[in-house]
């Protein structure tokens, strides 16, 4: 398996109702165009040890199919955003096993076996928010999510929006997200009550 790629996500999440209408994202700072909707059916399985060692270290481990970054992901949170390491998908098989490369990467925090923790399926629609030069200011995703906690059988479904900064984001990040908060609130949305989809499923 190849070496992982690393990225930092700076984003804001919002809870919205099933029938909430998307706002005019061009009202956000620097945004002059909104790209065509891109449909991304996503299917993710999250893993942890039996005693939730990864969760105690605020680490999420998942295998996701669908979308431009399908593969294995390890995610952690820090002051500057959510850090994500990405490995490509392994060869298809009847049984999903955490690859050795990820086991080694997670060794300081937990030891296998890593067992299924939750499955989250998401009908995602993504929109690129562009500036006057066509550069990506942010990406907005409209997620319709169904999740199941594999160890308890609890299920939940909901809709949420995410606004994630792109390479051409304004320098004043606080002002950009304040404008996003105001725009979403006017549409009927509100800041997300859970920090992640996994947290929401596990608390259902």
The closest of 56, 89, 55 to 71, measured between CA atoms, is 89
Handedness of CA 70, 71, 77, 83 (dihedral sign): negative
Q: Does the 5-202 domain belong in CATH 3.40.50.970? A: no
Report the distance separating Cα 50 and Cα 73, nearest Å. 19
Distances (CA, A) of 196 to 43, 172, 186: 15, 24, 23
- Give the pLDDT score at 64: 96
The whole-model pTM stands at 0.94
User: Token pair of 81, please?
Assistant: 């955003």
**Which ranges of the chain have pLDDT less than 50?**
none
- Give the pLDDT score at 1: 66
Sequence ranges of the domains in the chain: 5-202
The dihedral formed by the CA atoms of 4, 8, 12 and 16, expressed in degrees to the nearest 10: -10
Q: What is the pLDDT of residues 142-154, one digit of tens each?
A: 999 999 999 999 9
């Amino acid at each position: 398996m190849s070496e992982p790629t690393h990225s930092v996500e700076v984003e804001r999440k919002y809870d919205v109702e099933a029938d909430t209408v998307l706002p005019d994202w061009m009202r956000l700072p620097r945004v002059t165009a909104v790209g065509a909707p891109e449909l991304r059916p996503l299917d993710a399985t999250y893993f942890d040890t039996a005693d939730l060692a990864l969760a105690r270290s605020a680490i999420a481990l998942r295998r996701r199919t669908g979308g431009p970054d399908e593969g294995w992901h390890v995610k952690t949170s820090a002051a500057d955003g959510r850090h994500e390491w990405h490995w490509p998908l392994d060869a298809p098989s009847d049984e999903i096993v955490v690859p050795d490369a990820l086991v080694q990467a997670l060794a300081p925090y937990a030891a296998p076996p890593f067992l299924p923790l939750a499955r989250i399926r998401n009908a995602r629609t993504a929109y690129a928010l562009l500036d006057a030069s066509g550069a990506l200011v942010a990406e907005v995703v409209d997620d319709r999510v169904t999740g199941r906690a594999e160890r308890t059988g609890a299920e939940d479904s909901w809709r949420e929006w995410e606004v994630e900064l792109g390479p051409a984001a304004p320098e004043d990040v606080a002002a950009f997200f304040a404008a996003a908060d105001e725009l979403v609130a006017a549409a009927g949305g509100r800041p997300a009550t859970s920090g992640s989809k996994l947290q929401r499923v596990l608390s259902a």
